[in-house]
Amino acid sequence: MKRSRSISRADVSTTDDLVSVERPGADLPGAGFNAAIGNTVNPSTHRGGTLVLDNSGDWDSIDPGNTYVAYAWNFARLYARTLTTYAAPDGPAGAALVPDLAADLGRVSDDGLTWTYRLKPNLRMENGAVITSYMIKHAIERSASYSPTLPIGPVYWRTFLTGPDGIATPDPATVVFRLRRPMAEFDYLVSMPQTAPVPPECDTGPEYWRQPLSSGPYRIRAYIPGRRLQLVRNAAWDPASDPVRRQLADAVVVNLNVDADAIDRRLLTGEVHLAVEGGGVQRRGQAAILDRPARRSNADNPLNGFVWYAAISTAVPPLDNLHCRRAVLYAADHLALQDAFGGPIGGAIAPTMLPPTVPGAPPDGYDPYGFLSRPRGDLERAAAALQAGGHPGGFATTISFRNNRPKEQAAAAALRTSLARVGIQTELLGYPPGEIDVYPGTPDFVHRHRLGINITGWGSDWPSGFGFLYAICHGAAIRQTSNSNISELDDPDVNALLDRVMLIADAGERAAMHREITERITAAAAFLPIVHARSLLYRSPVLTNVSVNPALQMYDYAQIGLMA
C-alpha cells in the first residue's frame, strides 16, 4: 500500500484542496472544432506559468518501470526519456519513431537477433549523473519482465530477450540487446518507459515510486498518492539533445481523485487546463460543449485508436464454454452500449477488437456477429447459443468496471439489461480507480469471485497490430497479477500466429497476419468490442502547442505551454 508524503504548498493555491488555474479562460473562443487534429493550436515559445490538470483516479505508479496505463506513458515523457520516442510534429508524422536517448534508431544484425543503440553524449539525470548504458540495462532488468516487486507493465523483454545475458553494455554509451528470435518492431519496444534510465545506486526497489529521478524536462517535486502530483523544471535537461519535448511551463500540477463530472465542470469554467486521462468528457460535459459554439471551438473529437470492450473470461464457468460466450455477444444491445460511451461522438459500434487506426484491421463490412446489422442484438441466436452451451435458461455471472469511470459504469448497466433479456443474470462490481491490476488483473480474484465479464479499454502498446494484440490475447501474456489478458485467452493458433508475425520483415505482410489473428480471436468470442473510441477532448483556450499525437492517442503533454 502506498503511503502519503508531504507536498510543499509554497507555489500553489487551493480551493477545497484542489489546485486551480489562477487566471481562468472560460468560454473564450478557440481555434475551432478538431483544430488540434493534424495541426498545432496556438504555436508559441512562451515560457512561464503553471499547467494544471485533473485526474479522476491516480497513477498505477509514477515509476516509469512499473506502469501500464496509456495516459501515464504519455505524461511520463515529461520526466522520463527513453531510447526512442514519438515525433513531435502534428498529424501522421507524430506516429513516427525518432531517437531520444539514442543517437539513432537501432542497428540490427543480418539475422535479426541483435539490436545495438549508441547513446547521445553528455545526457544527464536530474542529480547531474551522466546517463549511461548501465542505467538503461538496470532499468529494464528491474521492470515487470524480471522483478516480482514491480509487477505492473508489459513483459515483452522476458519474451524476446535471451535471458539474463540478453542485455550487454560493452561501454557506457552502448547497449546491445540479444533476442531469442527476430522482432521486427524492436525500435518500438525500446520507446516504452521501461527504458528510462535508473541509476542502480539510486534504485530503492518498490519504493522508487516515491522519488523517481528525472531524465526529462521536468522533475518530480512532490507526490501525495490520491491527492496531487507536482512537477517543476529539471535544470539538468538539455533541450539541444531532445527533439520532441519542450519545457515551457514553470511547473505542472495534477489533482488526483477528482470526480469525473467535476472535472468537466472545472474544464468549462477554466479552473483546470486539461483532463490528464485523455478519455474525453462525460455525457453532460458533451452536451455542454457541443451546444455552445465558443466551447465547441476548444474541443477535439479524434478517433483515438482505443477500443472500449468487455473482456469475457474463458476460465470462469459457464463462460469457459464457447457457446455461452457467444450468447453474450449476440444478446448485447450495441446501441445502448454505444450510448453509454457517449453515442456516436464517443465512437462507432465496433464489430471487432482491432481499431481502424491500426494496420491490419478488418475492412468495412466485416460484421460476423451482426453488431452493425442488428445493433439491438440477436436474441434468437443468443437463445440458440445458450441451448448449445447447455444453459437454455441462462446463467449468472458478474460484470466489473472502474467506479471512477461513469461511462464504464453505464456500459455495465446497459449490458446487464441486455443480457437479462435471454436469462443471463448479472451482478455489478465496481472497483477503485488504479486497482485494475488487483481486481480483473488478478486471475485468482477473477476465479474466486466468478468475475465473468469486465468492462475496460485498450490501446496499442505501439501503433501496430502486434502492439495492440499481444498483451491481451497471447497465452504467454497471462500473469498472476497485473494481467492484461483478462479473458485468459490461450488459443494455440492465435499464439502461433503472434509468435510468427514478428519474424516477418515486410510491414504489409505483418498487417495481413494481424487481420487473420483478429478474425481468429473474434471467432473465440473472448471479447465483446463495444466502440472504436473517439474522445471528446476539451483544451483550455489559454494553452499553447496543443496537438493530438496519433501514436500517443491523446494530446501530447510534452509540447504544451501557456499563453503570456
Q: Kindly report the CATH number assigned to the domain that includes residue 508.
A: 3.10.105.10
Angle at 9 (CA atoms; ends 8, 10), nearest 5 degrees:
95
Angle at 98 (CA atoms; ends 97, 102), nearest 5 degrees:
125
Clarify whether residues 200 and 330 are in a common domain: no
Is there a domain that residue 75 lies in?
no
Is there a domain that residue 70 lies in?
no
Q: Give the span between the Cα atoms of 245 and 237, in whole angstroms.
A: 10
| 15 pLDDT above the threshold of 50 | no
Reported residue count of the chain is: 564
**Pairing mode, strands 18-19 and 50-54:** unpaired
Clarify whether residues 131 and 168 are in a common domain: yes
Clarify whether residues 551 and 529 are in a common domain: no
Q: Give the span between the Cα atoms of 72 and 531, in whole angstroms.
A: 22
Mean predicted confidence (pLDDT) in 65-85 = 96
Clarify whether residues 386 and 431 are in a common domain: yes
Is there a domain that residue 3 lies in?
no
Q: Give the span between the Cα atoms of 532 and 349, in whole angstroms.
A: 6
Question: Which domain does 141 fall in, by range?
Answer: 84-206
Residue 363: closest CA among 241, 538, 511: 511
Here the cell at position 497 is 500466429
| 2 pLDDT above the threshold of 90 | no
| 238 to 47, 114, 218, 227, 341: CA distances (angstroms) | 16, 30, 11, 31, 42
Q: How far is CA 312 from the centre of its chain?
A: 20
How many CB atoms within 10 Å of residue 364? 9
Q: Is the peptide bond before 318 cis (omega within 30 degrees of 0)?
A: yes
Clarify whether residues 222 and 201 are in a common domain: no
DSSP code at position 303: E
Please give the model's pTM, rounded to 2 decimal places. Answer: 0.90
| 389 pLDDT above the threshold of 60 | yes
Confidence of residue 90 (pLDDT cuts 50, 70, 90): low
Cβ(52)–Cβ(19) below 8 Å = yes
Q: Give the span between the Cα atoms of 537 and 547, in whole angstroms.
A: 11
Clarify whether residues 21 and 128 are in a common domain: no
Clarify whether residues 525 and 548 are in a common domain: no
Note the pLDDT of residue 16: 58
Residue with cell 535471458: 163
Clarify whether residues 242 and 169 are in a common domain: no
3-state secondary structure 124-151: ECCCCCECCHHHHHHHHHCCCCCCCCCC
Is there a domain that residue 337 lies in?
yes
Q: Which helix (H) or strand (E) holds 470?
A: helix 465-473
How many CB atoms within 10 Å of residue 366? 14
Q: Give the span between the Cα atoms of 49 and 26, in whole angstroms.
A: 17
Clarify whether residues 412 and 326 are in a common domain: yes
- Tens of pLDDT along 133-162? 999 999 999 997 777 788 888 889 988 999
Here the cell at position 282 is 462525460
- Tens of pLDDT along 422-452? 999 999 999 986 677 678 999 999 999 999 9
Is there a domain that residue 64 lies in?
no
Note the pLDDT of residue 4: 25
Is there a domain that residue 380 lies in?
yes
- Tens of pLDDT along 230-247? 999 999 999 999 989 999
Clarify whether residues 520 and 386 are in a common domain: yes
3-state secondary structure of 97: strand
Q: What total of structural domains would you count in the chain? A: 3
Give the CATH number for residue 18.
3.40.190.10
Here the cell at position 484 is 492484461
Note the pLDDT of residue 434: 65
Domain boundary among 182, 206, 230: 206
Cβ(400)–Cβ(455) below 8 Å = yes
Sorted by sequence, the CB contacts under 8 Å of residue 547 that are 6+ apart come out as: 36, 39, 40, 41, 90, 94, 555, 556, 559
Phi and psi torsions of 156, nearest 5°:
-60, -35
Clarify whether residues 375 and 498 are in a common domain: yes
Here the cell at position 334 is 450495441
Which residues are 398's β-sheet partners? Answer: 427
Residue with cell 483532463: 275
Is there a domain that residue 526 lies in?
yes
Is there a domain that residue 67 lies in?
no
Q: Give the span between the Cα atoms of 314 and 324, in whole angstroms.
A: 10
| 419 pLDDT above the threshold of 90 | yes
| 3 pLDDT above the threshold of 50 | no
